[in-house]
Amino acid sequence: MNPIDRLTEAFEKFPGIGPRQARRFVQYLLSAAPGSRADIAEQIKALGANTAQCSSCYRWFPIGKQASNGARVGILCDICGDSHRDTATLFVVEKDADIDNVERSGFKGTYFVLGGTVPLAAEEPARHIRLRELQKRVAENKLGEIILGLSATTEGDHTRNILQEVLKDLGKKISSLGRGLSTGSELEYADPDTIASALSSRS
């Protein structure tokens, strides 16, 4: 396969990117200065070397040079490693970007990144959905409440039902975000005030 088709195929694997958009990315890179192409390639390489996945909440976060040379197993992100956070409240989100947004709303508990939602048609959740990891985290930790912060979409609702089923025997209080998040909205795009009000009206 030629380099144009190969890179187009690689971009097509990105979430939400179709063949035409993938081709446009390649076109952009072809017309970009060689220096900026090399820079992007370098940044992709650095992404693996200078980041780690939190062993508690599963979000990806940047790490310093020293840490990147050592063991990365069991490493905690700045939120999970912060002793001032309310560790009794666990906020379950779909993806890393949701955390940034919830943080801006002033939430002071801890998080768990599920890894996505479960489509209605799916017979069983995809492997990247961390149901087992969530069960383990809930069973092992002294949690007072689990807040399900899923998108107000059909897939989000479906995923919420699955989580309630999976967590029901663990004897914890499970709540969902209240009104404020309009139908169809994703947590990633909600403004901090909306999230704060959805949090305070959770049930």
Residues that bind Zn ion in the complex, under the rule CB under 5 A: 54, 56-57, 77, 80
| CB closer to Zn ion out of 80 and 131 | 80
Beta bridge pairs of residue 146: 90, 174
State the minimum distance, in angstroms, from the CB of residue 79 to Zn ion: 5
| CB closer to Zn ion out of 68 and 185 | 68
What is the H or E stretch that residue 94 is in?
A: none
State the minimum distance, in angstroms, from the CB of residue 47 to Zn ion: 18
Structure token digits, residue 69: 């040379």
Q: Which of 132, 160, 130, 156 is nearest to 146 (CA)?
A: 160
Residues 6+ apart with CB under 8 A from 170: 135, 138, 139
State the minimum distance, in angstroms, from the CB of residue 57 to Zn ion: 3
State the minimum distance, in angstroms, from the CB of residue 155 to Zn ion: 24
Q: Which of 46, 167, 182 is nearest to 112 (CA)?
A: 167
| CB closer to Zn ion out of 57 and 152 | 57
d(CA 53, CA 76) in angstroms, rounded, equals 8
| CB closer to Zn ion out of 29 and 75 | 75
d(CA 107, CA 93) in angstroms, rounded, equals 13
State the minimum distance, in angstroms, from the CB of residue 151 to Zn ion: 21
| CB closer to Zn ion out of 8 and 56 | 56
CB atoms near residue 190 (< 10 Å): 24
| CB closer to Zn ion out of 57 and 199 | 57
Under DSSP, the state recorded for 26 is H
State the minimum distance, in angstroms, from the CB of residue 54 to Zn ion: 3
CA dihedral 14, 134, 49, 4 (to 10 degrees): -10
